[in-house]
Amino acid sequence: VEHTSTNPTGPIHVGRTRNSIVGDSLSRILKRYGYRVSTQYFVNDTGKQVIGLYLGYLSSENESLEIDNLLAGYRRIYKEIEEDKSREKDIESLIKKYESGEEAVVRQVREICTVMLRGIISSLARIGIKIDDYVWESGFLKSQEMDTVISS
């Protein structure tokens, strides 16, 4: 049962948590009736929002890799974009580097997403929800599996 799967760009909120509660409840009901069930979280670690989070981190001088610092950088970048639309080109450039597999960019984005995901996991644990497997969207970019699916 795949559920939750919020972008790792901020804390989970009530609107998204309801999906977690429904998915977790469904998996518990299925287990109760003898079905083998595992839960899965699809980590959306690609795209504009995640790269915005990354750009916010890059724009922060000597900030430690902590949730509060990442969120502050993320908000700052989107405020800058509101004031200067040309800043979007920085995000577009980083998206190209990320999607082409530039090693340093991919590694840093994964580190940042992992920090944010730990916060989400912690929040879910407080309401008794545990995810069995995490599948990273970026894994599909690397493996070229999407090209096979699209060309079929």
103-126 vs 88-99: helix crossing angle, rounded to 10:
100
Residue 6 lies in a domain: no
Residue 9 lies in a domain: no
Mean pLDDT in consecutive groups of 10 residues from the start of the chain, 152 residues: 89 88 97 98 93 92 85 93 93 94 94 96 96 91 70 74
* Residues in Cβ contact with 19 at an 8 Å cutoff, skipping those fewer than 6 apart: 3, 4, 5
pLDDT of residue 19: 93
- pTM for the whole thing? 0.86
pLDDT of residue 61: 74
Rounded to a whole number of angstroms, the CA Rg of the chain reads 17
Cα separation, 21 vs 3, in Å, equals 9
Tokens 């992992």, residue located: 114
Taking the CB of residue 63, how many other CB atoms lie within 10 A of it? 15
State phi, psi for 138 to the nearest 5 degrees. Answer: -60, -25
pLDDT of residue 148: 73
Residue 38 lies in a domain: yes
Sign of torsion over alpha carbons 5, 118, 100, 145: negative
Which of 39, 4, 37 lies closest to 21, judged by CA? 4
Residue 44 lies in a domain: yes
Residue 134 lies in a domain: yes
pLDDT of residue 131: 97
pLDDT of residue 141: 76
Residue 18 lies in a domain: yes
Number of compact structural domains in the chain: 1
Residue 8 lies in a domain: no
The two tokens of residue 61 are: 């001088």
Residue 85 lies in a domain: yes
Count Cα atoms within 13 angstroms, Cβ side, for 109.
29
Which CATH number do you get for residue 99? 3.40.50.620
Residue ranges making up the domain that contains 31: 14-151
